[in-house]
Structure 1
Amino acid sequence: MASGIASKAQEVAKEDYDKARVLLNDAARSGSYVYPIKGIFYLISHPELWKPLRSKLIPYLSLYSSVLGSLFFFTYLPQLAIMAFVNGPLAVVTTALLILNESATITGIISKNYLLQEAILDTFDGTLMARNNAEIVAEGRELKAGGDSIQRLGKALKRPFKRFSVNEVIRYVMYLPLNFIPVVGTLAFIFLRGLSRGDAVHDRYFQLKGWPTSRKSKWLKDHKGPYTAFGTVATLLEMIPVASVVFSFTNTVGAALWAADIEAKETEMAGSTAPELREAAKKAE
Structure 2
Amino acid sequence: MLAKEKIKQTAVEEAERIKALTTDGARSGAYLYPLKGIFYFMSHRALWKPLLSKLAPTITMGIGIISSMFFFTYLPQAAVLALVNGPLAAVSAALLVLSESSTIFMVLAKSMLIEGSLIDTFDGTLLSRDQASLVQRERPVKSGRGDAIARLGKLATKPFAKFTPSAIIRYFMYLPLNFIPVVGTVLFVILQGRRYGPAAHSRYFQLKGMNASSKEKWIQERQAAYASFGVPAALLEMVPIAGIFFAFTNTVGAALWAADLEAGQGTSPELRKTAEKAQ
TM range (shorter): over 0.9
User: 2:258 & 2:87 partners in 1: Cα distance?
Assistant: 43
- 1:206 alignment partner in structure 2: 205
Quick one: structure 1 residues 235 and 160, their matched pair in 2 at CA, closer, same or farther if it must change by over 3 Å? same
The residue type paired with residue 190 of structure 2 is F
User: 1:83 & 1:190 partners in 2: Cα distance?
Assistant: 20
Q: 1:49 aligns with which of 37, 42, 47?
A: 47
- 2:277 alignment partner in structure 1: 276
- 1:282 alignment partner in structure 2: none
Quick one: structure 1 residues 55 and 208, their matched pair in 2 at CA, closer, same or farther if it must change by over 3 Å? same
User: 1:12 & 1:55 partners in 2: Cα distance?
Assistant: 52
Instruction: Report the count of equivalent residues.
Output: 276
- 1:155 alignment partner in structure 2: 154
Contact conserved, 2:177 with 2:184, CA < 8 A, in 1?
yes
Q: Secondary structure of the residue that 1:11 maps to in structure 2?
A: helix
Q: Secondary structure of the residue that 1:29 maps to in structure 2?
A: helix
1:37-186 equivalent positions in 2, closer than 5 A: 37-146=35-144, 147-186=146-185
* TM-score, length basis structure 1: 0.92
Q: Which is worse superposed, 241-250 or 162-171?
A: 162-171
Q: Which is worse superposed, 151-160 or 140-149?
A: 140-149
Which blocks of at least 5 consecutive residues in structure 2 are unaligned?
A: none
Q: Does 1:232 align with 2:240?
A: no
User: 2:171 & 2:272 partners in 1: Cα distance?
Assistant: 35
**Alpha-carbon shift at residue 213 of structure 1 (Å):** 1.6
The residue type paired with residue 78 of structure 1 is P
User: 2:87 & 2:165 partners in 1: Cα distance?
Assistant: 35
User: 2:42 & 2:135 partners in 1: Cα distance?
Assistant: 22
* Identity of matched residues, %: 51
User: 2:220 & 2:246 partners in 1: Cα distance?
Assistant: 26
**Alpha-carbon shift at residue 89 of structure 1 (Å):** 4.3
Contact conserved, 2:104 with 2:168, CA < 8 A, in 1?
no
The residue type paired with residue 59 of structure 2 is L
**Alpha-carbon shift at residue 249 of structure 1 (Å):** 0.4
User: 1:134 & 1:157 partners in 2: Cα distance?
Assistant: 15
User: 1:40 & 1:249 partners in 2: Cα distance?
Assistant: 9
Q: Secondary structure of the residue that 2:140 maps to in structure 1?
A: strand
Contact conserved, 1:94 with 1:179, CA < 8 A, in 2?
no
The residue type paired with residue 273 of structure 1 is T
**Alpha-carbon shift at residue 123 of structure 1 (Å):** 0.2
The residue type paired with residue 192 of structure 2 is R
Q: 1:28 aligns with which of 23, 26, 50?
A: 26
Contact conserved, 1:123 with 1:252, CA < 8 A, in 2?
yes
Q: Secondary structure of the residue that 2:149 maps to in structure 1?
A: coil
Deviation string for 1:101-138 (max 9, x for gaps)?
Answer: 21121111111111000110000000000011000000
The residue type paired with residue 64 of structure 2 is S
Q: Which is worse superposed, 120-129 or 165-174?
A: 165-174
- 2:9 alignment partner in structure 1: 11
Contact conserved, 1:35 with 1:254, CA < 8 A, in 2?
yes
- 1:220 alignment partner in structure 2: 219
**Alpha-carbon shift at residue 209 of structure 1 (Å):** 1.1
Q: Secondary structure of the residue that 2:157 maps to in structure 1?
A: coil
Contact conserved, 2:69 with 2:101, CA < 8 A, in 1?
yes
Contact conserved, 1:86 with 1:182, CA < 8 A, in 2?
no
Contact conserved, 1:94 with 1:183, CA < 8 A, in 2?
no
The residue type paired with residue 205 of structure 1 is Y
- 2:260 alignment partner in structure 1: 261
